[in-house]
Chains A and B, each alone.
Chain A
Amino acid sequence: MTSVPLVSVFSADDSSKVTAKHIPLPAVFQTPIRPDIVSFVHTNIAKNRRQAHAVNPQAGMQHSAESWGTGRAVARIPRVSGSGTHRSGQAAFGNQCRKGRMSLPIKVWRRWHRRVNIKQKRHAAATAVAATGIVPLVLARGHRISQVPQIPLVVEDKIESYEKTTDALNFLKRFGAFEDVQKVVSTKVVRAGISKQRGKKYRVRKGPLVVYFNENAKLLKAFRNVPGVEVVNVTRLNLLQLAPGGQLGRFVIWTQSAFAHLDKLFGTYRYTSIIKDGYQLLRPLITNPDLARIINSNQVQEKVQPAKTTKVLHEVQKKNPLKNTKAMDRLNPYAKKQRAAAVAAIKANTKGTKKIKKNKALKKASRAAYNKVAASLNDATKAAVQEEQDIKVKYFSVQKGAAQTE
């Protein structure tokens, strides 16, 4: 893993200052990335927040409808009894009927929640935490982290005592996290659909997740009102927050104590977790997932048989040797020389014959004659044009004079 085994802790006031250099990375960050586990766990855990709802059990059934049976030239669906209203005789009860009850009406005792094996849940959480330490995954998820000094971002515990939102905002700005907040603000949209009327008017993106440790921390209130920012205690890390939508790579800001607690929380590869009793981090199937590198390594290439060359039995497209010189040369290597000899022979034969010189004098004369004709034509056209113009002028002047005389 190219995840940095050593991490710097930044000062809360100054992003360029480092309060603690080279803290070892908790083992969680080296867990293999398992999007399949995360996806499975997420889909199931997401169901646990649901509240029971149901359709009115009597809906569509509050009629004393009975089928008219056969012989009445109507379908056999139950029909509303009685008379004196439009409704009487209309179809009822069926899911296909107007005003009928739905098929398989929703019951309150639907299985709303899902249980997931604890180990799976823990593996998912561990993977999600690991993914927060991988820059490309955080970028791919859509967070704006190009100005953040380090991922994973660990800050001294001072931020836990922030009370004012301004402090929180300034902190985010200092560490390049404000761009992510701005993204959240600018992409706040009114939700499409009925949920608007059910208390979910806006669709808001997820911004940074701030993870703290001390229970007395006041930063919850400081960060509460910043759009997109969520605050959570390390001991209560939630997959739904670490991998929103089942997508790995949330942008997380850790406090120093929270970061240090991760080893106790998830354990390491040397010892199992203390808090998650007996939990051992997932071991990777392959320690080095870069297959290309492995295959091309010296150790493998030494043992590998030489690559089989594909024999070319014939050309893909047959070339005619009588027309294609290269094809000819392939068949008859002497053909090249034969051709050269032929050319030389021709040259030898024509040696001494005079070249037909172009009759320059004749050319000149013909050209002169042409020019003469062209010139005369030109003059003629010019004269014609001039004549026309004169006529025009005359005509109009006559007109003018006539007008004046009148």
Chain B
Amino acid sequence: MQIDEVVWQVINRGHCSFKIKTISQNFCRNEYNVTGLCSKQSCPLANSQYATIKEEKGLCYLYVKTAERAQKPKELWEKILLSKNYEQALTQIDEQLKYWSNFMIHKNKQRLTKLRQMLIRIRKMRLKGFKELIPIKKKAERRDKIREQKALVAANLENAIEQELIDRLKNGVYNEIMNYNTKAFEKVVGQNQMEDEEEREQQELEEEEEDYSDEELIFDPNDLEEDDEEDQDDEEDDKRLFQKQTFNQLRRDNDEVKDIKKKKPRVQLQYEEEEEVEDRKKQQIAF
């Protein structure tokens, strides 16, 4: 009791390694401090009779320090387990700190309350889960955005789709080859690349059928056939068809491939024979 006064003078006026000074307030970093503030009453160093509440693995303990053990740092703090029942814990504090200063008792009870509330919150969060706040890193976000754009360009989606469609055609998903552009076709034949033609035709088909899902891109020949049958019943219709074809050919021969693509395409179907196409093989179209 005697030395407390001296200690406080030395610590407060001089240097204390636990003291944190801020503009408005002084804090105490000492782990045994009840209030967390730096003041004579709440300084665990400057009071030979002192008590705190500390929490360990969900349990609250009362730590008591008395003048008798002041010279033995190892045995200084007596650790008393408090009841899990809040009210019982409060009475325990009252018992242990009987005849102590009101300040000490009151602050310990306050600390107990705060710790218990904290524990409740921890438990709740563990059970319910909690939203983890992740900061937005401006630099990283900016960087990733730009990289995404670049990746999109680098991916060559159009080319990939082209390849996919060609592969599908090869595999025979689409029954028939649709002849469209003579020029292109000749080119292709000349180069012995059927793929180009199909590719272009598929594209045009694709453009026409924009509203539909991918599934419906699969051209069902049966449907077509019905219409054709209607058309090709009469000779007149045949004639008309032939006329149409030649006319269209002439038109398209003059145009560039690109222009044609932009316009709404007219798919022309040419059958060698009036047959019901049930086999799934490709049919070469003689021209």
User: Which residue numbers of A lie inside 8 Å of B, CB to CB?
Assistant: 1-4, 32-33, 35, 131, 133-137, 139-142, 145-151, 176, 247-248, 288-293, 399-400, 403-406
CB pair A403 B211 closer than 8 Å: yes
Q: Are A247 and B14 in contact (CB under 8 A)?
A: yes
Contact, CB under 8 Å: A291 / B17: no
Q: Residues of B contacting A400 with CB < 8 Å?
A: 212, 216
**B20 contacts partner chain A, Cβ-Cβ < 8 Å:** no
A1–B3 contact, CB under 8 A?
yes
Any A CB within 8 A of the CB of B169: no
A135 and B67 CA atoms in complex are apart in Å by 11
Q: Which residues of B are in contact with A by a Cβ distance under 8 Å?
A: 1-7, 9-11, 13-18, 45-46, 48, 67, 70-76, 208-209, 211-212, 216, 220, 223, 227, 267
CB-based contact A35/B74 at 8 Å: no
Contacting residues, chain B, for A145 (C-beta < 8 A): 73
- How far apart are the CA atoms of A3 and B73 in the complex, in Å? 13
Interface centre among A1, A135, A400 (most CB of B within 10 A): A135
Interchain CB contact under 8 A, A247 and B212: no
Q: How far is the CA of A117 from the CA of B28 in the complex (A)?
A: 38
Residues B70 and A135 in contact, CB atoms below 8 Å apart:
yes
Contacts of A32 in B (CB 8 A): 6
| Beta-carbon contact of B2 and A135 below 8 Å | no
Closest Cβ–Cβ distance, residue B18 to chain A (whole Å): 7
Residue contact A140 to B17, C-beta cutoff 8 Å: yes
* 5 other A-B residue contacts (CB within 8 Å) besides A136-B45, A247-B15, A289-B2: A4-B70, A135-B76, A137-B11, A140-B7, A147-B74
Contact B71 A137 (CB under 8 A): no
Cα(A146)–Cα(B17), bound, Å: 15
- By CB atoms of chain A within 10 A, which of B46, B71, B72, B220 has the most? B71
B-chain residues with CB within 8 Å of residue A4 when the two chains form the complex: 70-71
B1 touches A136 (CB 8 A): no
Pick the contact of B73 from A151, A289, A290, A293 — CB < 8 Å?
A: A151
Bound CA span A385–B67, Å: 82
Report yes or no: A290 in contact with B45, Cβ–Cβ below 8 A. no
A293 touches B16 (CB 8 A): no
Asked whether A291 lies within 8 Å of B209 as measured between CB atoms, the reply is no
Give Cα A135 to B17, complex, Å: 14
Q: Which residues of B contact A135 (CB under 8 A)?
A: 70-71, 73, 76
Q: Kindly state the separation between the CA atoms of A2 and B3 in the bound complex, as whole angstroms.
A: 6
- The reply to whether B45 and A140 form a contact with Cβ atoms under 8 Å apart is yes
A33 touches B10 (CB 8 A): yes
Q: How far, in Å, is A362 (CB) from chain B's closest CB?
A: 48
Selected contact of B74 from candidates A1, A148, A248, CB within 8 Å: A148
Chain B neighbourhood of A150, CB < 8 A: 71-74
Asked if residues A137 and B74 are in contact (CB atoms below 8 Å), the reply is: no
- Give Cα A149–Cα B74 distance, bound, in whole angstroms: 5
Ranked nearest first, the 3 interchain pairs of A and B with the lowest CB-CB distance are A136-B45, A142-B17, A140-B16
- Nearest to A149 among chain B residues (CB) is B74
A35 touches B14 (CB 8 A): yes
A281-B272 Cα distance, complex, nearest whole Å:
128
Establish whether residues B74 and A146, one from each chain, have CB atoms under 8 Å apart when the complex forms.
Answer: yes
Determine the distance from Cα of A248 to Cα of B45 in the docked complex, in whole angstroms. 14
Q: Is there an interface contact between A134 and B73, defined as CB atoms closer than 8 Å? A: no
For B4, what are the chain A residues with a Cβ–Cβ distance below 8 Å? 290
A33 near B2 with CB under 8 A, answer no
Cα distance, A248 to B10, chains bound together (Å): 9
Question: Would A289 and B5 be within 8 Å (CB), given that A35-B13, A140-B17 are in contact?
Answer: yes
Contact in complex: B211, A149 (CB < 8 Å): no
Query: Would you give 15 A-B contacts (Cβ < 8 Å), ordered by A?
Result: A2-B1, A3-B71, A32-B6, A33-B10, A139-B18, A141-B15, A247-B14, A290-B5, A291-B5, A292-B5, A293-B1, A400-B216, A403-B209, A403-B212, A405-B227
Looking across the interface, which residue of chain B has its beta carbon closest to that of A25? B71
A11 to chain B minimum Cβ distance, whole angstroms, is 16
Q: Is the CB of A35 within 8 A of B70?
A: no
Q: Are A140 and B11 in contact (CB under 8 A)?
A: yes
Cβ contact within 8 Å between A399 and B211: yes
Q: A35-B10, A35-B14 are in contact. Are A2 and B67 (CB under 8 A)?
A: yes
Query: Given A146-B73, A151-B71: A288 and B2 within 8 A (CB)?
Result: yes
Q: How many Å from the CB of B217 to the closest CB on chain A?
A: 11
Chain B residues contacting A137 (CB-CB under 8 Å) are 7, 10-11
- A97 → chain B closest CB, angstroms: 42
**What CA separation (Å) do A150 and B52 show in the bound complex?**
22
Once the chains are docked, how many angstroms separate the CA of A287 from the CA of B267? Answer: 114
B7 touches A136 (CB 8 A): yes
Q: Could you tell me the distance in whole angstroms from the C-beta of B51 to the nearest C-beta in chain A?
A: 16
**Least Cβ–Cβ distance between A392 and chain B, in angstroms:** 14
Q: Are A1 and B2 in contact (CB under 8 A)?
A: yes
Interface core residue of B2, B216, B267 (most chain A CB under 10 Å): B2
CB-CB under 8 A from B10, the residues of chain A are 33, 35, 131, 137, 140, 248
A333 CB to closest chain B CB (Å) equals 35
Q: Complex Cα distance A291/B70, Å?
A: 20
- Determine whether the beta carbon of A2 is less than 8 Å from that of B17: no
What are the residues of chain B within 8 A of A149 when measuring CB–CB? 72-75
B103 to chain A, nearest CB (A): 13
Q: Shortest CB–CB separation between residue A51 and chain B, in angstroms?
A: 28
Nearest neighbor of B8 in chain A, beta-carbon distance: A136
Minimum CB–CB distance from B104 to chain A (whole Å) comes to: 15
Pick the contact of A404: B1, B71, B223 (CB < 8 A): B223
